A and B are shown apart, each in its own frame.
Chain A
Amino acid sequence: MSTHVRHLRGLTVVTALMITAGLALTFFYAPLDAEQGFVQKIFYIHVPLAIVSLVGFCLGGVYGIGYLRTGKRVWDMRSYCAIHMSLIFSVAGLLAGSIWAKASWGHWWVWSDPTLVSYLIVILLYCTYQPMRFSIEDPERQARYAAVFSIVAGAFVPINFIIVNLSSEYLHPRVLNLEGGAMPGSMKLAFYTSLIAVALLFATLMKYEMAAKELRIETRRLRRRLLGDDAGPLGRTASPS
């Protein structure tokens, strides 16, 4: 059994427990927001999704450096899975943010909010990751180019936020400013629990994806050994293979 599959069951159970705890704290423990009421609850899912996906994008870049330094396929696989998961999380985060914006500001999309806008730009950039991989046939070149992309894009994430922030007056509620935020303790507890839950969910799903990919590679190898050249191609893929 590969290293990625180890601890998978334990991790899954812990993740499920944390998500339950996060949701329970959000809905039954954290107080209603004085201004926004029930709608503000979406904050406990939107912000963790956003933070985890952005960290995941940067993590993809770090794994990309790992690939360029070592040339080992496992780093390419990590980078691919981190970016893939982050993309899913970020689209979910964007949708949640959009719902929140509609509820509290009356519009589905708010250009005056630099955080939302820069988030969209980052998503647009990462949407090109898979098409790019898909159109490179040589697997070695695919991995190398994907690593270069992941590093540039990972570095782009914070720079883009700074520049977009400069371009508009801020509107986003700063719940996590440097002074520790204006949240009461009960909200903080619910928030950090949700954050850890979403981070664990990210790690678990990423491990599942990696395990599935390794299994597929192993299957293909065995198939080739059994059938020889008759095995035929299994179709093109954008993922490491």
Chain B
Amino acid sequence: MRTAAAILRKDLLLELRTLETLPSMALLSISTFVIFHFGLNQDSLSGQLAAGVFTVTLLFAAMLAINRLFVAEREQGGFDAFLLAPVDRTAMFVAKAAALFIFMVALELVAVPAFALLLAPPRLGHSLAGFVLLLVLADGAFAVIGTFVSALAVHTRARDLIGPIIGLPLMLPALIATARGIGPLLRANSSGSPQLKWLLVLALYDLFNALLAVGLFDYLIEE
């Protein structure tokens, strides 16, 4: 656990000092909202359409972070150093997934207000609690699957291509659940609480992927 905390601290410090990933993610999400505004020719979105636009935007921003997640380790010999150290390899997975989760939460601190401001979905304030709960679970899926895919892709030659094409289908079930869960919350007549079904699906999918990734991660960083 201490190893994981050390790696996480290193990653967050690196991001704070270089500001490489997070500003790009925030900018990308705002640009995507602008593109959707023009593409759909709508000043405000509601219901399932709003949910879809928001989920897709989050996904694209997540892809940026996922592509960058292990690049520093590979380019600056972090992997070799980690493999030489007498520590549990799962620590690397836990730390990277936690870092990705924190990145996603930080992104949403910008993206949710921007979404509310630019595309004005109705009832967002009213159903904020359920909305946040769904986002946290979705971030869990992004973090777990993203870390796994990133570790898989970082040693391939075309890692910027391989990561997204493997990651997208694997994340689809989580995206379906997130979009379907958020959709009813953003309707004009929303009750304000999300359907239990989608919360449960997301939580189980997170858990399932976390177990699978923890079990298999060791094989990905072996030399």
Could you tell me which A residues sit within 8 Å of B by CB distance?
68, 121-122, 124-125, 127-128, 131-132, 135-137, 141, 144-145, 147-149, 151-152, 155-156, 159-160, 163-164, 166-167
| Given contact pairs A131-B165, A144-B222, A149-B166, A163 touches B177 in the complex (Cβ within 8 A) | yes
Q: Which residue of B lies closest to A137 (CB)?
A: B157
Please name all residues of chain B whose beta carbon is closer than 8 Å to the beta carbon of A163 when the two chains form the complex.
Answer: 173, 176-177, 201, 205
Please name all residues of chain A whose beta carbon is closer than 8 Å to the beta carbon of B169 when the two chains form the complex.
Answer: 121-122, 124-125, 128, 156
Task: Name 7 interchain pairs, CB-CB below 8 A, sorted by A.
Answer: A125-B169, A135-B162, A144-B222, A148-B220, A152-B148, A152-B213, A163-B205
Q: Which residue of B lies closest to A126 (CB)?
A: B169
| Closest-CB distance, B25 to chain A (whole angstroms) | 23
| Given contact pairs A68-B219, A145-B152, A155 touches B158 in the complex (Cβ within 8 A) | no
A166 to B180, CA, bound (A): 10
A121 to B165, CA, bound (A): 12
| Closest-CB distance, B52 to chain A (whole angstroms) | 13
In the complex, the answer to whether B205 meets A159 with C-beta atoms within 8 Å is yes
Please name all residues of chain A whose beta carbon is closer than 8 Å to the beta carbon of B197 when the two chains form the complex.
Answer: 166
In the complex, the answer to whether B156 meets A159 with C-beta atoms within 8 Å is no
The B interface, classified by DSSP as helix, strand, loop or mixed, is helix
In the complex, the answer to whether B152 meets A148 with C-beta atoms within 8 Å is yes
In the complex, the answer to whether B162 meets A131 with C-beta atoms within 8 Å is yes
Please name all residues of chain B whose beta carbon is closer than 8 Å to the beta carbon of A131 when the two chains form the complex.
Answer: 158, 161-162, 165
In the complex, the answer to whether B155 meets A152 with C-beta atoms within 8 Å is no
A121 to B201, CA, bound (A): 18
In the complex, the answer to whether B219 meets A148 with C-beta atoms within 8 Å is yes
One of A121, A127, A166 near B172 (C-beta < 8 A):
A121
Q: Which residue of A lies closest to B177 (CB)?
A: A163
One of B162, B170, B222 near A132 (C-beta < 8 A):
B162
Please name all residues of chain B whose beta carbon is closer than 8 Å to the beta carbon of A145 when the two chains form the complex.
Answer: 152, 155-156, 219-220
Please name all residues of chain B whose beta carbon is closer than 8 Å to the beta carbon of A160 when the two chains form the complex.
Answer: 172-173
Please name all residues of chain B whose beta carbon is closer than 8 Å to the beta carbon of A149 when the two chains form the complex.
Answer: 152, 166
In the complex, the answer to whether A159 meets B173 with C-beta atoms within 8 Å is yes
A52 to B152, CA, bound (A): 28
In the complex, the answer to whether B166 meets A132 with C-beta atoms within 8 Å is yes
Interface size range on B against A: 20 to 34
Contact residues, B147-163 vs A (CB, 8 A): 148, 152-153, 155-159, 161-162
Interface hub of A144, A151, A156 (most chain B Cβ within 10 A):
A156
| Closest-CB distance, A64 to chain B (whole angstroms) | 10
Q: Add 13 more A-B contacts to A121-B169, A131-B165 (CB < 8 A).
A: A127-B165, A131-B158, A131-B162, A132-B152, A132-B166, A135-B162, A136-B155, A136-B157, A147-B219, A148-B220, A164-B176, A166-B201, A167-B176
A137 to B201, CA, bound (A): 38
Please name all residues of chain B whose beta carbon is closer than 8 Å to the beta carbon of A156 when the two chains form the complex.
Answer: 169-170
In the complex, the answer to whether B205 meets A144 with C-beta atoms within 8 Å is no
In the complex, the answer to whether B157 meets A135 with C-beta atoms within 8 Å is yes
Please name all residues of chain A whose beta carbon is closer than 8 Å to the beta carbon of B166 when the two chains form the complex.
Answer: 125, 128, 132, 149
A156 to B216, CA, bound (A): 14
A151 to B208, CA, bound (A): 13
| Closest-CB distance, B158 to chain A (whole angstroms) | 5
One of A124, A132, A148 near B156 (C-beta < 8 A):
A132
Please name all residues of chain A whose beta carbon is closer than 8 Å to the beta carbon of B173 when the two chains form the complex.
Answer: 159-160, 163-164
A147 to B176, CA, bound (A): 27
In the complex, the answer to whether B155 meets A141 with C-beta atoms within 8 Å is yes
| Closest-CB distance, B38 to chain A (whole angstroms) | 26
Convert B15-39 into 0s and 1s, putting 1 for each residue whose CB lies closer than 8 angstroms to a CB of A.
Answer: 0000000000000000000000000
* A-B pairs with lowest CB-CB distance, top 6: A125-B169, A163-B173, A135-B156, A135-B157, A135-B158, A124-B169
A128 to B152, CA, bound (A): 12
Please name all residues of chain A whose beta carbon is closer than 8 Å to the beta carbon of B162 when the two chains form the complex.
Answer: 128, 131-132, 135
| Closest-CB distance, A148 to chain B (whole angstroms) | 5
Q: Which residue of B lies closest to A163 (CB)?
A: B173
Please name all residues of chain A whose beta carbon is closer than 8 Å to the beta carbon of B72 when the two chains form the complex.
Answer: none
In the complex, the answer to whether A152 meets B176 with C-beta atoms within 8 Å is no
Please name all residues of chain B whose beta carbon is closer than 8 Å to the beta carbon of A166 when the two chains form the complex.
Answer: 197, 201
